[in-house]
Each structure stands twice: as C-alpha cells, then as structure tokens.
Copies of this chain bind each other. A is one copy, B any other.
Amino acid sequence: MIRSVDKHSGVPAYLQIMNTIKKEILLGHYQRKDQLPPVRELAQLFGVNMNTVMRSLEKLANEGLIESEHGVGYFIRDVPDVDLKTIQLLQQTISLLKKQGVKLPMVLLLLEELWKEADVS
C-alpha cells in the first residue's frame, strides 16, 4: 500500500491510487468491514490533495468495492474473492489469445462486448 504516485506516467493520480487500492483488494489484503486509512493520511502518503484521494474512493464506492460512513471512515464492502480456478481459466484464455496474435486493446473490446451479452445465470 505504501506505493507512491508517478507524476510523469501520464496516468491521472486518482486513477493510479484507485488501481493501487483495487489491486490490494484483489490480492486479498483486506477483509470485509476493514477500515481504510483516513483520506488525509492517504493524501499525504500519495503526495496529493485530499480531494484527489476522494475522487479515487468515490469511484471505488461506485463500483461497489467500498462504502463511506460520514465522519467515520471508508470501509471495505465486498471482497470479490475470485475463485482460483477462474483465474487459471482466464490465464489459459489469455495465453491462447496471445498465441493467436491478438493485442490487448482488441481483447479489452472483445471482453466488453461479450460481457454485455453474457448470461448472468
């Protein structure tokens, strides 16, 4: 979590922060109901204004990963807890796509299209 923001990466700070936290969650570094460090603390940690962190947290909240309690703090909401088998299946698929010479941007578009169509059941 102690990662810092790269001001010269071209990627907006709030996105870097957002993805950093998202990865932490993906890696299982947090448990449901865990409290995140205060906005001001994160701001100092990442070397940005408080509102920049707010931006990140709001986005994470919109995605349903965390939620806020005014005056109290931000809390982890759902730890998606992706099944290991699913991860492996995804890895296998990626490997196949790479072999076929498909590039990442194309895969991202393909995934989004299939995601729209896919059944929930």
Could you list which residues of chain A lie within 8 angstroms of chain B, going by C-beta atoms?
Answer: 19, 22-23, 26, 63-65, 78, 80-83, 85-87, 89-115, 118-120
Contact = CB atoms under 8 A, between A and B. Distances in A.
B94 A78 contact: no
A80 B78 CA distance: 37
Given A103-B64, A106-B26, A96 B83 contact: yes
Q: Which of A93, A98, A100, A118 lies at the interface centre, i.e. has the most chain B CB atoms within 10 A of its CB?
A: A93
A103 to B, nearest CB: 6
**This chain's copy number in the assembly:** 2
9 contacts: A19-B109, A23-B109, A65-B106, A80-B106, A87-B114, A90-B111, A90-B114, A93-B93, A104-B115
Nearest to A104: B115
Given A89-B92, A118-B98, A104 B112 contact: yes
A95 B118 contact: yes
Contacts of A99: 120
A116 to B, nearest CB: 9
A82 B63 contact: no
Q: Which of A65, A78, A92, A115 lies at the interface centre, i.e. has the most chain B CB atoms within 10 A of its CB?
A: A115
